[in-house]
Amino acid sequence: MQHRRRKRSLLLPVGAVAAAVAATGGVLVWGRGACDADTPRDSSSAAPAVARADCAKRGQVPGSGSTAQQNVMEYWIKQYQRACSPVQVAYKPIGSGAGVAQFMRGATSFGGSDSPVKPEDSKPADGVCPGGRAINLPMVGGAVAIGFNVPGVDDLVLDAPTVAKIFDSQITTWDDPAIRKLNPGAELPSLPIRAVHRSDDSGTTQNFQAYLAGAAPEVWSHPAEKAWQGRGGDSADGSDAVAGTVNSTSGSIGYFELSFAEKLDMKTVRIDTGASEPVAATEESSSAGIAAGEVVGKGKDLTLQFDYRTSAVDTYPIVLVSYEIVCDKGNVAETLPALKSFLTYTASSEGQKPLARLHYVPLPESVAAEVRQVISTLS
């Protein structure tokens, strides 16, 4: 079927499941089924998240990619395997670029990516997806927060041109006139800015650079690639490392998913979009940003596109959707039932409802329903 460009309304359900989720730190973790000692210990954890009838009988489902997904993927794996212990699911958070590359050469059953595979790049290596192609299934949304560590500053407002100049080494001190203008009355120190970006190929980087190129094209002339394009700055491997570097380094600023900022209780930038008030990165404001997204993929591909120049009230503009990259046809027969079972759970109401409590944004139900329908047709 063909998908016309159309806007979605995002429904942000309130999660009933509270979870303490630990990052895997790049280590490949196989979920451990019903006896997992790390299963969230709230009262809702007593009930399986997946109906037994929906479980595959057996199988291993290896995946890798986006570090933006690592917190929610660990939660999903634990919850799924409490109900479907014969199935083993693994996810290695190595970055979107590396994860897609592993999938494209047949090393994994799915790749996690914060940017979609382009149509011209959707044909994997020989022997992978025979008779088919790679498609993008949106699975979870979120905000790309900008965390900062500036002594004496608890609230920081920036606009798109100023963010672009900071990350392109055009603004290099915290008391720069452009920053002072946006923060009247703030005690901004005469301290060098240490802008931290991802060193690995990353969908988070691609989304952040897409925002800079879309919202401040007169300043940010670099392409929106997975590899960092700006000049200067420091770097770290993975969102967790960028967040950790900013958290421990005076004068620093960096971009990463909101869940990492929340986990470290880190201050984040409010964005002056031209609305009546600067917009903070929250689940609600990023939900509004994602709600303005349009499905632009064709056929079974469900790629979304966003408006980075929005000035709507309480709408955070730096958003992303993290995708699972799968074969539409030609999946490995032995692992296909387990792959479909697991992905059906992650796109289900049971998989999506807790996301707000984990500092992510659930998919609009209209989009989630399409994702589930496509999953049912994988072959």
CA distance 116 to 98: 13
Report how far apart, in Å, the C-alpha atoms of 213 and of each of 45, 161, 165, 207, 368 are: 43, 10, 12, 10, 29
Q: Which pLDDT belongs to residue 49?
A: 56
Domain with CATH 3.40.190.10 in the chain: 29-141+322-377, 144-288
pLDDT of 338 above 90: yes
Asked if pLDDT for residue 167 goes beyond 70, the answer is yes
Q: Residue 39: is its pLDDT beyond 50?
A: no
The CATH classification of domain 144-288, taken from the options 1.10.220.10, 3.40.190.10, 3.20.20.70, 3.40.50.1220:
3.40.190.10
Q: Is 209 helix (H, G, I), strand (E, B) or coil?
A: helix
User: Residue 323: which residues within 8 A CB-CB, separation 6 or more?
Assistant: 112, 113, 114, 115, 116, 136, 137, 138, 139, 303
Q: Mapping DSSP to helix (H, G, I), strand (E, B) and coil, where does residue 231 land?
A: coil
Task: Tell me: pLDDT of 43 over 50.
Answer: no
CATH homologous superfamily of 29-141+322-377 equals Periplasmic binding protein-like II (3.40.190.10)
pLDDT, one tens digit per residue, over 207-239 is: 999 999 999 999 999 999 999 999 999 999 999
- DSSP H or E run through 373: helix 365-377
Tokens 């309480």, located at residue: 314
Please count the other Cβ atoms lying within 10 Å of the Cβ belonging to residue 261.
24
Q: Percent of the chain scored above 90 by pLDDT?
A: 74
pLDDT exceeds cutoff 70 at 37: no
Enter the pTM of the model: 0.75
